[in-house]
A and B are shown apart, each in its own frame.
Chain A
Amino acid sequence: MSVCQVQAPTQVPLGLVIGWLAYTVVTLAGVAMIWGLITAIANKPPGKAQLLFAAFLEIVVVVQSLIAAVYLLLGFRPAELATTIGYLIGIVILIPVAWLWANSERTRFSGVVLAVAALAVLGMTLRLLELWIPPLLR
Chain B
Amino acid sequence: MSEQPLRPTNTGPGRILIAVYGIFALAACARAGVQVATKFAEAPLAYLLSAAAGVIYIVATVTLGRGSRTSWRVALVAILIEAVGVLCVGTASLVDPAAFPKATVWSAYGIGYGFVPLVLPFLGLAWLIKTRPR
Contact = CB atoms under 8 A, between A and B. Distances in A.
Q: Is chain B found bound to chain A in the same assembly?
A: yes
A101 B34 contact: no
Contacts of A93: 26
A21 interface: no
Contacts of B11: 105
Interface stretch (B15-23, B42-50, B83-91): B15-23
Given A105-B11, A109-B12, A109-B13, A86 B19 contact: no
Contacts, number: 44
A26 interface: no
A107 interface: yes
Given A86-B30, A105-B11, A113 B19 contact: yes
Interface residues of B, number: 18
Interface in B63-83: none
Interface string B1-44: 00000000001110110111011001100110110011000000
Contact of B34 (A86, A105, A109, A112): A86
Contact of A86 (B13, B18, B23, B31): B31
Contacts of A117: 19, 23
Interface string A84-122: 001101100110011001000101011011001100100
Interface residues on A, range: 20 to 34
Interface of A, secondary structure class, is helix
A109 B15 CA distance: 7
Contacts of B19: 98, 101, 112-113, 116-117
Contacts of A107: 12, 15
A86 B32 CA distance: 10
Given A90-B30, A116-B23, A117-B23, A82 B15 contact: no
A120 B15 contact: no
A82 B13 contact: no
Given A82-B38, A86-B34, A110 B26 contact: no
Interface of B: 11-13, 15-16, 18-20, 22-23, 26-27, 30-31, 33-34, 37-38
